[in-house]
Amino acid sequence: MPAPDCEIRSVVLAPVGEGPWPGVLLYTDIFQLTESTLRTARRLASAGFVVCIPEIYPRDLAGVALEFDDAGKKAGLAGAAGTTTVQFDSDRVAVLDFMEQRGDITTLHAVGFCLGGHLAFRAAFDPRVAATVCFYPTGLHNGELGADADAGSLARAASIHGRLMVIFGSRDPHVPADARAQTIAALYAAGLNDLELHVYAGGEHAFMRDVGARYDPTLTDLALTEAVSFLNGR
């Protein structure tokens, strides 16, 4: 799909049938379109959503799905460091424009994991996004996003008018208890007192990634069930 200064390679997964269905913009973690993330996206599609999964680094890592190893992590972090908040935001507008123009999509939602959870939070600034789920979002408490030391995301929380759910793991070293408390306090201070918050006991960072020792299938099923219920408006 076209963006102002690049093209964004994306995967679109739809339920079987004619639709229309609600749409979900799904932001990946720093490893981009891995089979692990696509398996999660297929689960959301099977629950009745058109899921659009764009690459988050379309300028520097187009067509690259990174491995879950040190080299992949290094490349993913470098991709983030080379992307500004302005670029992340302009890419979001391009993807939502694409989704809005599809005849098989009704309402628009956003979901994201890790860095993608932060991007999903910023997607909630768009008035077209009816509901957002952020899975263990990083950088919200201190503003860090890509190339920017402070993207000011929490400072703009009051501009979120759709429904918001945030899910953390209690053992996440990237979003420890004090960072979670800071994030939650800022959301309440912004007037977002009608939001849904979950902290799963024992959950590591990326507990929903079904590769590696941190994967927790029980918590993953709980989180996805809650997310689907939430996106469907209960």
Tens of pLDDT along 85-137?
999 999 999 999 999 999 999 999 999 999 999 999 999 999 999 999 999 99
Count CA within 13 A, CB hemisphere, residue 116.
23
In the chain, the percentage of residues whose pLDDT exceeds 90 is 97
Tens of pLDDT along 149-180?
999 999 999 999 999 999 999 999 999 999 99
> Residue 187's closest CA among 153, 146, 232, 224?
153
Q: Which CATH class is domain 2-231?
A: alpha beta
**What mean pLDDT is predicted for residues 196-200?**
97
CA–chain centroid gap for 91, Å, is: 14
Tens of pLDDT along 34-58?
999 999 999 999 999 999 999 999 9
**What mean pLDDT is predicted for residues 210-224?**
97
Q: Which amino acid is at 38?
A: L
